[in-house]
Amino acid sequence: MPQTPFDSEFLKKLDRLALSSRMVVKGGTGGNRKSRHKGSSVEFSDFREYVHGDDFRRIDWNAYGRFERLFIKLFMEEQETLVTIFLDCSKSMDFGQPHKGNLAKQLAAVFAYLALANFDRVSLVSLNQRVQSQLPGFSGKQGFWKALKFIEDLPYQGKTSLNRAIQSYPALGFGGGISIILTDLFSADGYREALKYLQYHKQEVTLIHILSPEELDPPWSGSIRLLDSEGEKPCELTLTPQVIKRYKQVVERFIRENREFCHNRGIHYVPVSSDVSLDKVVFENLFQMGLISNRG
């Protein structure tokens, strides 16, 4: 993974952003996100025991006085949300110029940062044909560096089976939350069942579909043997302008079908090319789509 472009200026920019209100979910505990429930912004909701990483300003010192244990006050309109970031770490993501996986990791880091900055809890899950590794729910800005280390160390290996891998992820519960999937969607068993599964678990799903420039516009010509990085059967063909044209049509149709599916199911679908800079993806693509907005 190349040097993470999280310089201070970038972090300041991030600081001003919050996950969009469109990503608001029902329920949850704490956090900086407005609930769909109407009510005063200072309306008390509940207590919760302090865990490492919580904002200590919210500690109820009165409760501490009574019970000698640290509790945090929760308010109805400022609920905490669990943001689960699924990062496709199959071998096919280890590809592209610029590198698809790098962009995915950087975006995962951005989403984690934003979630943490909004006092949401974050889970990071690395997938290939199954759940490869995970960093379960953490919160607080301090958790960000841990998350960054976790992301950095993720290897690219194995095949892609999004349906199987996501459906085998146990820690979603039915409390609702936000699921962000960063993948190239080159999944042998498809991805739609996985998305349905997430929605079943009351997840607000965002699908970031990352493709490299080579995948969008193949630069090769002549007779070539295309070797699948995940070990699938090689594909021999003669690349003529006609074939390239047909390929591009297939790619377009693939993206169109994805978009239609996601639109019909109320899923945010963001197709991204890895040659677009991270800044642009964050501040334009995601912003324009309303996935990220200026904080209140």
Binding site residues, another protein, CB under 8 A: 91-96, 100, 160, 184, 186, 188, 212, 214-215, 220, 222-230, 232-238, 240-243, 246-247, 249-251, 254
CA distance 46 to 26: 16
How near is the Cβ of 107 to another protein at its closest, in Å? 17
φ and ψ at residue 260, rounded to 5 degrees: -60, -45
CA distance 73 to 5: 36
CB of 93 to another protein, least distance (A): 7
Q: Which is nearer to another protein, 71 or 95 (CB)?
A: 95
Q: What gap in Å lies between CA 280 and CA 277, rounded to an integer?
A: 5
- Please state the closest distance from residue 261 (CB atom) to another protein, in A: 16
| C-alpha torsion angle, residues 99, 136, 177, 23 (rounded to 10) | -40
Measured distance CA(49)–CA(205) in Å, rounded: 29
Q: Among residues 11 and 226, whose Cβ is nearest to another protein?
A: 226
CB of 235 to another protein, least distance (A): 4
Q: Which amino acid is at 190?
A: G
Least separation in angstroms between residue 68's CB and another protein is 56
C-beta closer to another protein: residue 27 or 98:
98
* CB-count exposure of residue 231 (10 Å: 0-12, 13-18, 19+): exposed
State which residue, 82 or 107, has the beta carbon closest to another protein.
Answer: 107
Rg (CA), the chain: 21
AA identity, residue 239: L
CB of 92 to another protein, least distance (A): 4
Smallest separation, CB 159 to another protein (Å): 9
Kindly tell me which of 139 and 183 has the beta carbon lying closer to another protein.
183
If you write DSSP's letter for every residue of 89-129 in order, what string do you get?
Answer: -SGGGS-TTTTHHHHHHHHHHHHHHHHHHTT-EEEEEEESS
The nearer residue to another protein, 163 or 212, going by C-beta atoms, is 212
Q: Which of 11, 243 has the CB closer to another protein?
A: 243
